[in-house]
Amino acid sequence: MSTAELQNSIIQKVLKISDSQLLDYLNSLLLEDESSSYYSMNEWEMKVVKESISDYERGEVINNEDVFSKNEKWLKE
């Protein structure tokens, strides 16, 4: 699907929406896209990222295979 076709498809779908709350949400998404090109993390997200970096630097990591293995074992319980 070309960009123009995708735009027209989205426009047609938006024209059918009567839920003002949904339209407000869509509008806020579009305005956010215009106002900035990056995501700004909140304090909690920054804290989690810093903790993760510290864990990594201390070598406190688990490889993917172990994580998947533990998850599979947990799901079978």
72/52 same-domain check:
yes
29/47 same-domain check:
no
Structural domain total, the chain: 2
47/31 same-domain check:
no
> What is the pLDDT at residue 36?
59
Contacts of 1 (CB under 8 A, 6+ apart): 9
* Residue given tokens 């172990």 in the structure block: 66
49/24 same-domain check:
no
> What is the pLDDT at residue 31?
82
DSSP label of 71: H
What is the rounded CA–CA span in Å between residue 75 and residue 33? 39
7/23 same-domain check:
yes
30/47 same-domain check:
no
What is the rounded CA–CA span in Å between residue 13 and residue 23? 11
What is the rounded CA–CA span in Å between residue 57 and residue 29? 36
**Which range marks the domain in which residue 55 is found?**
43-76
**Each residue of 6-64: pLDDT tens digit?**
999 999 999 999 999 999 999 988 886 565 566 788 999 999 999 999 999 999 999 99
